[in-house]
Amino acid sequence: MQYAIITDLNRCVGCLACSVACKTVNEVPIGNFWNKTLRIGPFPTEGGSGQYPDVDMYFLTVGCQHCADPECIKVCPTQASHKREDGTVQIDKSKCIGCQFCVMACPYGVRYLNEDERVVEKCTLCEQKIAQGELPQCVSQCGGRARFFGDIDQGLDSFQVPAAIPAGPDSTYEATVAARDLLKDVAKPYTADQLYYLPDVGNKPSFAFILRNRKWQG
C-alpha cells in the first residue's frame, strides 16, 4: 500500500484553498507550510513570441511527497521519522530531538522546525482523517476537484475526489462528505508521458502530477 495524491494541473486554478485549508486544520505556524502552491511561469510557448498570448503558466502544489524510499528517514538518528504500513511518512514527536538532519536531507524543502515545540513538522497526509475513511483536507477542499487521493497499488484510476452532488432537500452533510467520484471519471484523458513527478534523487516521490499540452517545469 502506498497512499498518495495525484494533482491534475490542468484543473488547478491556483485558488490556494488547499494551502489555506491545510494550515487551518493542522494549525501550521505562520511562515511555514505543509502544502504550498507555486506559480510556474509565465513562460513562452514553443515557437511563440514570448509575448501575450504566446505565454503559458500553471500552478504546482508542493508538500511532502511521502516517498517510497525517503531520504529523511535514512538520516534520522532516533527513528522519529518513519514510514507507516500505508506508505505515509510520519514523525513521532516523542522521539524527535530537533536535530533537523531530516530538514536538510529532504529534496523538496518541505520540513521545518517548530520553534515552540522544538520538533520537526511536515504534511501527515491528514492521517487523522484517512484513518477514519475521510479524504485529506487539501483534497476535500479543492474547489476545482484537481486533487485526488488513493492507493498507488490500486492504480491511479481508483483515486478519489469529493463527488459533485446536486444540492437537494434529501442531501445530508454526512452523505455529501462520504460521496466520491473517481479520477478516471473526472479527469480528462492523459497519456503516460503527461504524468510527472518532482525530481527523484533516489527517494522515489509518490505524488504525481498530470499536465497536458504544456511544458513541465517542475
In tens, the pLDDT along 128-182 reads: 999 888 999 999 999 899 999 999 999 999 999 998 876 566 777 777 778 889 9
Distance in angstroms (rounded) separating the CA atoms of residues 44 and 156: 31
Residue 52's pLDDT is: 72
pLDDT at 118: 94
Confidence of residue 88 (pLDDT cuts 50, 70, 90): very high
The mean per-residue pLDDT over the stretch 179-187 comes to 91
The predicted-structure confidence for 16-26, as pLDDT tens digits, reads as follows 999 999 999 99
pLDDT given for residue 217 in this prediction = 83
Q: Quick check: 114 and 121 in contact, CB under 8 A?
A: yes
Q: Would you state the pLDDT for residue 75?
A: 96
pLDDT of 103 above 90: yes
Q: What is the pLDDT of residue 50?
A: 66
| Model pLDDT, residue 171 | 73
On the question of pLDDT at 194 being above 90, the answer is yes
Q: pLDDT tens-digit profile of 30-78?
A: 899 999 999 998 888 776 676 777 788 899 999 999 999 999 999 999 9
3-class DSSP assignment, residue 156: helix
Pair 215, 47: CB distance under 8 Å: no
Cα(181)–Cα(158) distance, integer angstroms? 9
Asked if residues 70 and 16 have their Cβ atoms less than 8 Å apart, the reply is no
**Architecture per CATH, 3-210:** 2-Layer Sandwich (3.30)
**Burial profile 185-215: b = 16 or more Cβ within 10 angstroms, e = fewer:** ebbeeeeeebeeebeeeebebbbbbbbeebe
What pLDDT is recorded for position 87?
A: 93
pTM of the model: 0.89
